[in-house]
Amino acid sequence: MDIKQATKLYEEWLSRRMPLIKSDLAWKHQRMSESPFSLLRATCYRWAQLWPEVCPELAAAPWVLGVGDLHVENFGTWRDGEGRLVWGVNDFDEACPIPYTTDLVRLTVSARLAFESKYLSSDADAASEAILTGYKNALDKGEQPLVLAESHRWLRDLAMSDLRDPVQYWDKLTGLPALGKAPPPDVKKALGQALPESGLSFRIVHRRAG
C-alpha cells in the first residue's frame, strides 16, 4: 500500500464518522505537498502503518498513553483553570495507548524535517539531543506542566512576544466567515459551558488550521 492508497482509505474511514468539507480536504492535500515536514504532520495514519515495519525493535517497547501525532508544532501555550500561562503539548486528538518510543521518535523526526524545511531554526542534532535530555530529566524528576509565571522566564518572554500579539490574533479570528449551518444543539451547549462565564454570546466560524 502506498501513501495515496493509505490516504484514500483513511479519508473514507473518517467520512463515515464525521462530515468532510471537500474544499478543505483539497486544501489539506495541497499543504501536504509543500514539504516533507508538512506531509509528516498531516499523515499520522501512515506513520502508524509504517512505524512497526521500519522500527520493529522500538515498536516493541512498553506501552503508555501517548500523544500519537506528536510533532514540533503540537506544542504551545494556554491558560489553565487558575488563569496561569502554561506551555506544553496542545493537541491530543490522536491520543491512545502506544509504545513510549513512538512519540519520542516521531517528535525527533519532525524536528529534523522541520529544520530541513526551514520551519525550525534550531540545529537538528541539537534539537534531537534536547528532546532526549528533556525526556530523561522528566522521568528522573517527575516533571510537571510548565507554568511560565513560576519558571522558564525565557520561554514566557518568547510566548508573550510581539509575534503573539493578541490584537492581531483576535482580528484574524473575528474576520473569519460564520459557519455555513448551525451546529447540533448539544455541541453549541458544550461550547457555551466551556466559556469563562455563563450567558456570554458567541458565534461559531469556519477556520482552517494545521
pLDDT at 163: 58
Distance, first Cα to last Cα, the chain: 25
Consecutive H or E run containing 75: strand 75-79
pLDDT at 210: 67
- Here the cell at position 200 is 456570554
- Nearest-angstrom CA–CA distance, 126 and 108: 10
pTM of the shown model: 0.82
If the chain, 210 residues long, is cut into consecutive pieces of 10 residues, what is the mean pLDDT of each piece? 94 92 93 93 94 95 94 88 85 93 96 89 88 90 79 78 72 87 88 86 85
* Residue 159, Cβ density class (10 Å: 0-12 exposed, 13-18 middle, ≥19 buried): middle
CA triple 9-33-108, angle to 5 deg: 85
Cell 451546529 belongs to 183
pLDDT at 106: 96
pLDDT at 162: 58
Question: Helix or strand or coil: residue 93?
Answer: coil
